[in-house]
Structure 1
Amino acid sequence: MTTSNSSNSSNGIYDEACVLERIKAMRSLEEKTARCRNYLTPQVDSTCRKLMVDWCFILVDAFALSRETVGVTISILDRYLSSGKGKSQEALECRQTFQRAVVSSFMAIKINEPSVLDIKMLVKLCRGVYKQKDIIDTEMEILSAPEWRVYASSTAPMEYVRHFVDLLPEYVDVADVILENAARRMDVATADVYFSTCRASSVGMACLAGALDEMPSMSWSDKEALWSELSRKLDWDIASNEIRQIEKRLLAESSSCESRMPSQASLSRTSFASTGGQPSSPGSVAQVAQ
């Protein structure tokens, strides 16, 4: 898993067979991996989850990390909370325990970023709400849920998008714009647990579809030709009912999203359950990052 463009074509080298083999391997692993479930409860509802996702985006933006790291973080979190293992049920009954699980899931930066936010910095950002041992213990438990196969069980939808674009070297001139548009869609999808219950490959295909819709430079016939070429090369139904349902929901969610960046209003609302009148963690991220 990587946050950089894995395209061979970007280096002037194109090996279609290699790209197809990688997609096949990812999809094979995807089918063997347990799907996430909608684990939301009255205590940890969609609003609670979205606020923590917003906080994660604020964090990676403040430290100039990849926004895809948030997607990987939440994927790890969702798999843990869907597993029913360890104290995952406790995390669904207590918001503070849930928040600690989100912080601990930020282990994604260890495999997704060239630089690492160390544990001391995370503790500092949490303003003393969680101790270092609390975060480490929860991290170990989250790792054990997928039997330590975090990399194998968290292939991101954007990784599929990059591979799909790799299959279309004739569109290399607009590849960066397509990927940027898809990334905006993926930011929206990360905030909704529904998309975590779907196949990552299907979410990636839906993000690509939405990205192409935002390409005014491409004519309708060009887009049709692109889809036809992609369908031929992949040899699987890229217009399945699942993908269409994801597209519809993603379109609805994207339409209600004012911007890619969290607003100052969401910043003030995204607070940790603090003790002793301590200030919330998210509000301190930008200051600590300076």
Structure 2
Amino acid sequence: MSSWNASFVAESLLAMIQREQTVYRSSDYLETPSPTPSLRIVDEVVRTKMVDWCYSFIDACHFEREIVAVAMEMVDRFLSKSSNAEAALCDRLQFQLLTVTSLYVAVKTRGESALGIDFFCSISCDIYSVDEIEAMELTLLSELEWRISPPTGVQMAHHILALVSSAVRFEQSICIAILDEVMYQAEYAVRDYYFVTQRPSSVAMAAIFNTLELLDKQNAQAVVRSLLSIMDEEFDSLEIILDTKSRLHNLVYGQEGDDSATIDPLPFSSTSARELELRVC
């Protein structure tokens, strides 16, 4: 990588880090005080089910899986700050409507397809009308102040690894394997509510640290040195990143072979994913 390219990548990464600390932040909304705590039905399990439904939809349409990270970031930020959050947390249908609408916005803004609102109505078995999704879209965009392009862990990992590659040389196949593994871990992070309050840059760093076993000892040490040189005061502390690394590693690799980790999709979407390829894709 040329010095000019490295400078550009570093500036882009810095811009994303600054955005994740300011306008793209979510809080622990499931633990915030509620005027009606007994009425809340949305919890970590319900959220994970909706994430899995989103991935099923994206896979059926052969879209980029990172769209789900963008959609769920909008859901989480909306529930962290919106005056309408409590209604969504106390009504499963409203929470599903919020998620479907966020996925619609994410698909549309990423330019993956020209799927219209009527299609998103159909995949929810017409539980929601066009008017309801349009109204939720306006509410979502207004509450998020039209900030709908959040930096994701995968985006940041691409930038970080680009900077690492300027200092550490390894085969292209190894670089691809590292990126594939990072994307795999990032998808687990999207599913786990714990990571709602974690910065994407920390998730990216944690995932990269978890891939070092793919390298020989010499290259792994060189990558660690390069990562540490990249981590300035704009990043979380090394302690936080290592805690995130441990949590992510346990989440991804600690559940292998554990059937209890599988969560069935929500009832309204049970046939949608199977029908999508025949109807649209």
Please state how far the C-alpha of 1:281 moved relative to its aligned partner. Answer: 2.0
SS at match of 1:117: coil
Q: State the match for 2:164 in structure 1.
A: 168
Q: Post-superposition shift, 1:108?
A: 0.6
Aligned length in residues: 261
**Alpha-carbon deviation of 1:111?**
2.1
CA distance change for structure 1 residues 73 and 34 in 2, over 3 Å: closer, same or farther?
Answer: closer
- C-alpha distance in 1, partners of 2:101/2:255? 27
Counterpart Cα distance in 2 of 1:15 and 1:132? 45
How far the C-alpha of 1:33 sits from its partner, in A, is 2.3
1:262-273 equivalences under 5 Å are 266=263, 269-272=264-267
Task: Find the aligned partners of 1:256 and 1:59 in 2 and give their Cα distance.
Answer: 26
Q: Please, what TM-score do these two structures have when normalized by structure 1?
A: 0.83
Cα deviation for residue 250 of structure 1 reads: 0.8
Alignment of 1:76-225 (within 5 A): 76-85=74-83, 87-106=84-103, 107-151=105-149, 154-169=150-165, 170-171=169-170, 173=172, 174-213=174-213, 215=214, 218-225=215-222
> Per the alignment, do residues 34 and 66 of structure 1 end up closer, same or farther by CA in structure 2, a change over 3 Å counting?
closer
Alignment-derived partner of residue 7 in structure 2: 17
Structure 1 residues 111 and 172, CA, compared in 2 at 3 Å: closer, same or farther?
A: farther
Displacement of 1:69 in angstroms is 0.6
**Cα 1:58–1:66 shift into 2, 3 Å:** same
Q: Which amino acid aligns with 1:176?
A: I
Contact 1:125–1:282, Cα closer than 8 Å, also in 2:
no
In the TM superposition, residue 25 of structure 1 has moved relative to its aligned partner by 1.4
Equivalent pair of 1:66/1:113 in contact (CA under 8 Å): no
The 8 Å contact of residues 185 and 211 in structure 1, kept in 2 or not, is answered as no
Separation (CA, whole Å) in 1 of partners of 2:270 and 2:244: 30
Distance 1:17 1:136 in 2: 42
Matched with 1:72 is 70
Check if 1:289 corresponds to 2:277: yes
Q: Which string of whole-angstrom CA distances, capped at 9 and with x for unpartnered residues, describes residues 122-179 of structure 1?
A: 111011111111111111111111211212xx11111100001111332361221111
1:240 deviates by: 1.5
C-alpha separation between the residues in 1 aligned to 2:76 and 2:232?
Answer: 30
Distance in 1 between the 2:133 and 2:52 partners? 20
Unaligned runs of 5+ in 2: 31-36
| Offset at residue 257 of structure 1 (A) | 4.2
Shift of 1:34: 5.6
Deviation >3 Å, runs of 4+: 233-239, 256-259
Gaps of 5+ in 1: 1-8, 273-279
Contact 1:188 1:257 in 2 (8 A): no
Partner AA of 2:125 in structure 1: R
Q: 1:34 to 1:16 in 2, by over 3 A?
A: closer
Q: Do 1:205 and 1:238's aligned partners in 2 also have CA atoms closer than 8 Å?
A: no
Q: 1:230 aligns with which of 215, 227, 230?
A: 227
Residues 1:31 and 2:27 aligned together: no
Deviation at 1:235, TM superposition (A): 3.6
Q: 1:206-233: per-residue Cα shift (whole Å, max 9, x none)?
A: 12112333x1xx1122111112023224
CA contact (8 A) 1:80 1:88 kept: yes
Residues 289 and 230 from structure 1, CA distance in 2 versus in 1: closer, same or farther, beyond 3 angstroms?
A: same
Q: Is the contact between residue 19 and residue 151 of structure 2 (CA under 8 Å) also seen in structure 1?
A: no
Which stretch shows the higher mean deviation, 240-249 or 188-197?
Answer: 240-249
Query: Aligned Cα RMSD in Å?
Result: 2.2
Distance in 2 (alpha carbons) for counterparts of 1:256 and 1:95: 30
